[in-house]
Structure 1
C-alpha cells in the first residue's frame, strides 16, 4: 500500500511539472483572450432555450432509466 502511494505521489509530481512547463509556453494575453471568448460563447449558449431542453431530456431519461431498473421483477 505504501509503495502504491509513493508511485501515485511521484506520478502526480511528474504531471505537475509537465503542466507547469506547458503552461509557461502559452502567452498570457492569448490564454486570457481564449478564456474571455469561451466565457462569452458559454454565456450566449446558456441564454438560449437549448440548455434547458437538454437538461429536461436528461432528467426525463434518468427518471425512466431508474424507474425501469427499480420495477424489474426479482
Structure 2
C-alpha cells in the first residue's frame, strides 16, 4: 500500500518577489532564446525549455513580479 507522500507530485512552482525595478519584458524576450512576449494577448513573458519541455512564465503586475514554472 502506498502512502500519501508516495502519491504527491509537485507540478507547478510560483515565486513572487519585489525586484525593486521595472522589468522590461519586451527587451527580455529579445535577449532570451525561445522567449515570447505578446502584450496584446497576455501580460507575461513565456519561455519554453528545449530540454525538459517545461514552460516558465514571467508576469509583471503593478505590485510585484511573479515567476511561474509549469
Provide TM-score, normalisation by structure 2. Answer: 0.22
Which one has the bigger strand percentage? 2
TM-score (normalizing by structure 1): 0.22
Question: Could you say which structure has the higher helix fraction?
Answer: 1
Q: For CA contacts below 8 A with separation 6 or more, give which structure has more relative contact order.
A: 2
